[in-house]
Amino acid sequence: MTAVVETLNLGHGPRTVMVKDTIDVAGYATRAGSRALARAAAAQQHAAVVTALLEAGWQINGKTNLHELAFGTTGINHWTGTPVNPDYPALIPGGSSSGSAVAVAAGLCDAALGTDTGGSVRTPAACCGVFGFKPTFGRVSRAGVMPAVSSLDCVGPFSRNMDTLIQVMAAITPDFAAVPEFSSLPAKPLGVLTATAQAEISTTLTRALEQAALPQIPVALPGMQEAYSAGMVIINRETWNACEPLVASGLIGSDVADRLLAASQTSNEQLAQAEQTRNRFTAEVDRLLQHCLVLAMPTLPDYPVALADAADTRALLGMTSFVRPFNLTGHPAITLPLQGPSGLPVGLQLVAGRGQDELLCSVARELSERLELNRV
């Protein structure tokens, strides 16, 4: 299955969790799925989230595979092997946190941690049919997480049910409060985003939201496409800054190396324009959330692509068109697992105000109960 690259036995609690191999575990090398880091020295100390999990009574039983250097959307890795999507083996597992999503979907652990810079938790969660959460930017410590510097990246959990996801968030977020009962939340409607998605995806979400029987209104975010493009500019510059020293080794897979070399051409002018877009689009989302409890939309615009058709990573970057904009703004976002009429995975993404991670978990928990999405 190649979801797990290192088997661990840390901690003694009854609940098991795996962590993406961009997250330091003391005594083990952090290789980020790359042959360029095959001889990396062992980490000297745990990442902050690893320490927090152990202190909260979790048992860490593995490090998980990923799209090389966490720089890809498909989850395919030609060096370590590609994790097999358990319920949909002909489809990509999604990236970059492919191993974490696969490990949870396969029942190898109760939960797993991934990182999400442009959808890298929500995309594989949607592909593999599990829950995946991107917290508010800065809410969860990134100390001991690769890359060391990012204005987009967040550590977030995968799970098969909302109760487990909430327990992980409570462990890794020092100021995480009790998740409120849904009945105590402000009496605002869900803002259902008008989004261009494959017909079966749109139909599946419409039916699910109708079944949930919560008040809803249609909303629009005209700046989504511009925000997606700005997010690409920023991730390109920041990933190039982090990975430039590795490129000269010649040991990075060609799919990632080609993207990195293209990213190296990102100009300061492009970066400045992207930051302006960040400010505009953040304000646009904030305005909508004054009137809506959360925003609801597809996680992916289409079903996950078949492995056989996924060789060109750059051609598939558009699958993050609905997730990447919220890395740009820093809003918390979660994907809930649905299934389309073709029997293929569909993600329902919910987005809340910045810092309202607990409210978002409350809404997601209510929807998952009404739609009977939770699995043991």
Catalytic residues: 20, 96, 120
Name the DSSP letter for residue 87. Answer: S
Count CB neighbours of 219 within 10 A.
18
Count CB neighbours of 292 within 10 A.
23
Strands of the 333-339 sheet, one edge to the other: 4-10, 58-64, 15-20, 111-116, 154-159, 131-134, 333-339, 345-351, 295-298, 190-193, 216-219
The alpha carbon dihedral of 365, 195, 66, 42 has a sign of negative
Q: Tokens at residue 312, please?
A: 């060109």
Q: Tokens at residue 118, please?
A: 């442009």
Which of 357, 359, 364, 363 has its CA nearest to residue 174?
357
Phi, psi for residue 15 in degrees, rounded to 5: -100, 135
How many angstroms separate the first and last alpha carbons of the chain? 21
- CB under 8 Å to 235, separation ≥6 — which residues? 117, 118, 152, 324, 327
Name the DSSP letter for residue 277. Answer: H
Name the DSSP letter for residue 175. Answer: T
Identify any residues that bridge with 18 across adjacent strands, giving them in sequence order. 62, 112
Q: Which helix (H) or strand (E) holds 6?
A: strand 4-10
How far is the C-alpha of 166 from the C-alpha of 339, rounded, in Å?
23
Cα dist from 210 to 94, 194, 216, 281, 367, whole Å:
28, 15, 9, 28, 11
